[in-house]
Amino acid sequence: MKLVVVDVGNTSTAVGKWSGGRVTCVAHCDDGFAGASAKVRALASAGACAMAYLSVVPKADAAWRRLARTLGLPFVPITHELFSQVAPPLLGLRLDYPRPETIGADRLADAAAAVDRYGAPVVVCDFGTAFTAAAVTMDRVWRGGVIAPGFPLMRDYLYERTAKLPRMKLGGKCPRIGRSTEEAMRFGAYVGYRGMVREIVGTLAANFSTDFRLVATGGFAKWVLKDSGMPFTIDATLTLHGAGLLASRSAEVLKCAKTR
């Protein structure tokens, strides 16, 4: 069974092919729907059964749904309903959350993939435009999570809300101390951001009296966590894997696969 997997984020869109429990042919597109849809068309031509779709940008959904229809692919959005149908029998993973419909599709996919690949207990953190974390306890129950500003938001806020501070470039090394405005901003953002992450995962461990495994994904994970001393496993394809994993067990996809 082959699926096209699509993850529409605030900054970029990731697409890939899910087959045999693996994600391959991953592309990260920063040029909006046009560039990402071209990648999807190429992947779909290789015999996909459906499009597994997750998004944190609701206004993009209609265009992707139309594209799936044009390509003749069942459109399978990752939702809390799909998660609740598939995850308990597949992974033993359940939600304990007052309003599951408010959980972002990316967070559901991250949790499913983390439990599938690394087991439980696990805290999975996504380092994107926003920083998110979700805790799954030993009994494989999704207990809730954390949402905080991501590194790009911290940088942009300084630039947008002050008169003289420049827009700091992302990436690069952190200085020992700031000896220019740019370096001072880089030190504050980089060290402060890692301190936020350290405090969040430490507090979750204390609150649940659990030694969680730490898993990270998202475009800024590798840079932020380098030499941090925090024992994260960085998994770049985690979200796409979760989308493919959940969608591949949906009734619509299984029915489609039987007819091919």
Which of 7, 30, 61, 106 is catalytic? The answer is 106
| 3-class SS string, the chain | CEEEEEEECCCCEEEEEEECCEEEEEEEECCHHHHHHHHHHHHHCCCCCEEEEEECCHHHHHHHHHHHHHHCCCEEECCHHHHHHHHHHHHCCEECCCCHHHCCHHHHHHHHHHHHHHCCCEEEEEECCEEEEEEECCCCEEEEEEEEECHHHHHHHHHHCCCCCCCCCCCCCCCCCCCCHHHHHHHHHHHHHHHHHHHHHHHHHHHHCCCCEEEEECCCHHHHHCCCCCCEEECCCHHHHHHHHHHHCCHHHHHHHHCC
> Is 7 one of the annotated active-site residues of the chain?
no
| Main-chain dihedrals φ then ψ at residue 176, nearest 5 degrees | -65, -35
How would you list the strands of the sheet with 50-55, edge to edge?
22-29, 13-19, 2-8, 50-55, 75-77
Contact at 8 Å (CB) between 228 and 239? no
Q: Supply the residues annotated as catalytic.
A: 106
